[in-house]
Amino acid sequence: MIPAFDAWVLRVLRVPPPPQAPAGSSEASRVLKAAPGFFRQRLLVWGWRQAAALAGILFGFAAGNILPKELEMLLGGPIRIVELIALGLFALQLALSFSLVRLDYLWRWYVVTDRSLRIRQGLFKIREQTVSFANIQNVGVRQGPVQRWLGIADLEIRTAGGGQAEGEGTGKKNDFHKAVFRGVADAEGIRDRILHDLRRLRDSGLGDRPDSADGASGELDAARELTSAARALRGALAAQG
C-alpha cells in the first residue's frame, strides 16, 4: 500500500528521476544517500509536531466539557462536530505527512565525482545544486547533540560569495553559496575524500584559469627542452670554431 501511495505522490508532484552524475571520471563517481539516522531525526521533529497538534485538539475537547450549562446546550453540538472533523483531518494528515517525511528522506541524493558534486533534494520544491571542486572555498562538518546521538552529521561546502541574509545557523534561508550534505553517516570520510581531490587542483577559489598540476609540469618540461636545445646550439657553434 505504501509503495502505491509513494508512486502516486511522485507522479502527482512530477518528481524527476534520480540525478545524473556531474562531470568527472565515471569510475570515481559515487552516489551517497542520507543515513537512516537522518530519517529518525526527521521523524523526531515530525513526532514532536504531531504530538503538539494532538495536544491542541484534545485541549479543545476538554475545553468543550467545562463550558457552562447554558453555553453547552447552545454550542456543545457544533463544537463536537468541529472536534470530530479536526480529529479526522489530523488522522489523514498524520498518514500523509509521515509518508512525505519518508519520501523526502528517500528522494535525496549526494553525488560526488573526482572534480564536482551534485546535491538533489526536495519533493515540492526540488533543488539540484552542482558545484565544481575548483570553486570550493572551505569544507566543514556540523553536528548537533541529537545528530551525534543518531550518528549523523551535516557536511557543509562553501563557495565564494557572501550575503547570508538571515537565518544563520538554521540554514533555512537560501544560501546559494553553500552546499550541504544533510544527515550523512560518514561526513568525515566524504570530507577527506573531497579535500584529497581538491589538493590536485592547486588553484582553488577566485581567478580565471587555474594552472592544473599537469599544465605546470608541461611548461617546466618545455622550458627544460628549450635550455638543452640552446646548449646544443652553443656546442654546435663552438665546434664550428
Place of cell 472533523: 85
- Specify the stretch interacting with other proteins by CB under 8 A; choose among 37-45, 48-56, 97-105, 226-234: 226-234
Using CB under 8 A, which of 49, 80, 127, 148 touches other proteins?
Answer: 127
Residue 190: CB atoms within 10 Å: 22
Place of cell 646548449: 231
Interaction between residue 160 and other proteins (CB under 8 A): yes
- Least Å distance, CB 210 to other proteins, is 7
Cβ(99)–Cβ(43) below 8 Å:
no
* Crossing angle between the packed helical segments 69-106 and 2-12, to the nearest 10 degrees: 80
The contact mask relative to other proteins for 17-56 (x = CB under 8 A, - = no) is: -----xxxxx------------------------------
Identity of the residue numbered 180: V
The contact mask relative to other proteins for 185-214 (x = CB under 8 A, - = no) is: ----------------x----x-xxxxx-x
| Strand partners of residue 118 | 111, 130
Beta-sheet strand order (sheet of 30-32): 30-32, 109-112, 116-121
Interaction between residue 230 and other proteins (CB under 8 A): yes
Cβ(178)–Cβ(157) below 8 Å:
yes
CB neighbour list of residue 25: distance below 8 Å, 6 or more residues apart: 113, 114
How many residues touch other proteins under the rule CB under 8 A: the total is: 61
Cβ(108)–Cβ(42) below 8 Å:
no
Cβ(150)–Cβ(40) below 8 Å:
yes
The contact mask relative to other proteins for 85-124 (x = CB under 8 A, - = no) is: ------------------------------xx-------x
- Least Å distance, CB 105 to other proteins, is 19
Using CB under 8 A, which of 128, 171, 185, 193 touches other proteins?
Answer: 128
* Nearest CB to other proteins, comparing residues 26 and 65: 26
Interaction between residue 168 and other proteins (CB under 8 A): no
Residue whose C-alpha is closest to residue 101's, from 9, 30, 232 = 9
- Least Å distance, CB 104 to other proteins, is 14
- Least Å distance, CB 226 to other proteins, is 5
Interaction between residue 138 and other proteins (CB under 8 A): no
Which DSSP string do the residues of 211-226 spell out, in sequence order?
--HHHHHHHHHHHHHH
Query: Which residues of the chain form contacts with other proteins (CB under 8 A)?
Result: 12-16, 22-26, 115-116, 124-135, 159-165, 173-177, 179, 201, 206, 208-212, 214-215, 218-219, 221-223, 225-226, 229-230, 232-233, 236-237, 240-241
